[in-house]
Amino acid sequence: MSALRIAHLIESDGPGGAERVVAQLAWALQASGVWNVVFLPAGGEGWLARELDGSGVLIEHFRIERPISTACTRTLEGAFRRHRIDVAHSHEFSMAVYGAWVSWRVGIPHVITMHGGRYYAARLRRRLALRTAIALSAQTVAVSQDLANHLSQDLWIERSRIVTISNGVQAVQPERITLRHELRLPADDRLLVSIGNLYPVKGHQYLVDALALLATRYPTLHLAIGGRGPLADALSARARSHGLAHRVHLLGLRSDVSAILAAADVFALPSLSEGLPLALLEAMIAGCPIVATDVGDVRVALAHGEAGMLVEPGNAVALAAALDDLLCNPARAQALGARGACRAAAEYDVSQMVRRYVNTYHAVLGTERNRGAAVSGITSVEALPTGIGEANSNRHLNVS
Cα 209 to the chain's mean position, in Å? Answer: 26
For 276, the enclosing helix (H) or strand (E) is none
- Which residues lie closer than 8 Å to 33 by C-beta, 6 or more apart? 3, 373, 374, 377
DSSP 136-160: HSSEEEESSHHHHHHHHHHHT--GG
Judge if 235 and 148 occupy the same domain.
no
What gap in Å lies between CA 190 and CA 289, rounded to an integer? Answer: 13
Buried b (16+ CB within 10 A) or exposed e, 279-294: bbbbbbbbbbbbbbbe
- Whole-number Cα distances in Å, 280 to 56, 57, 170, 212: 30, 28, 12, 23
What gap in Å lies between CA 210 and CA 6, rounded to an integer? Answer: 46
pLDDT of the chain, 400 residues: tens digit per residue: 468 999 999 998 888 888 989 999 999 999 999 999 999 999 888 999 999 999 999 999 999 887 788 889 999 999 999 999 999 999 999 999 999 999 999 999 999 999 977 777 778 999 999 999 999 999 999 999 999 999 999 999 999 999 999 999 988 888 888 999 999 999 899 999 999 989 999 999 999 999 999 999 999 999 999 998 899 999 999 999 999 999 999 999 888 899 999 999 999 999 998 889 999 999 999 999 999 999 999 999 999 999 999 999 999 999 999 999 999 999 999 999 999 999 999 999 999 999 999 999 999 998 544 444 444 444 444 555 555 545 443 333 233 3
Judge if 224 and 321 occupy the same domain.
yes
What gap in Å lies between CA 96 and CA 99, rounded to an integer? Answer: 5
User: Does some domain include residue 390?
Assistant: no
3-state secondary structure of 365: helix
Task: List the CATH number of the domain containing 321.
Answer: 3.40.50.2000
**Burial bucket for residue 186 (CB in 10 Å: 0-12, 13-18, 19+):** exposed
User: Does some domain include residue 100?
Assistant: yes
Per-residue pLDDT, 171:
86
Per-residue pLDDT, 1:
45
Look up the domain containing 309 and give its range: 179-346
Sheet holding 58-62, edge to edge: 58-62, 35-41, 5-10, 87-91, 110-114, 139-142, 162-164
Taking each helix axis from N to C end, the angle separating 93-106 and 70-83, rounded to the nearest 10 degrees, works out to: 60
3-state secondary structure of 259: helix
User: Is residue 101 a contact partner of residue 133, using CB atoms and an 8 Å limit?
Assistant: yes
User: Does some domain include residue 337?
Assistant: yes
Per-residue pLDDT, 319:
98
User: Does some domain include residue 388?
Assistant: no
Per-residue pLDDT, 380:
47
Judge if 91 and 106 occupy the same domain.
yes
Residue 8 forms beta bridges with which residues?
38, 89
Judge if 97 and 222 occupy the same domain.
no
Judge if 250 and 294 occupy the same domain.
yes
Phi first, then psi: give them for residue 326, nearest 5 degrees: -75, -35
pTM for the predicted model, two decimal places: 0.85
Judge if 107 and 226 occupy the same domain.
no
Judge if 287 and 320 occupy the same domain.
yes
User: Does some domain include residue 309?
Assistant: yes
Report the domain count for the chain.
Answer: 2
User: Does some domain include residue 381?
Assistant: no
Judge if 326 and 199 occupy the same domain.
yes
Judge if 189 and 281 occupy the same domain.
yes
Radius of gyration for the alpha carbons in the chain, expressed in angstroms and rounded: 21
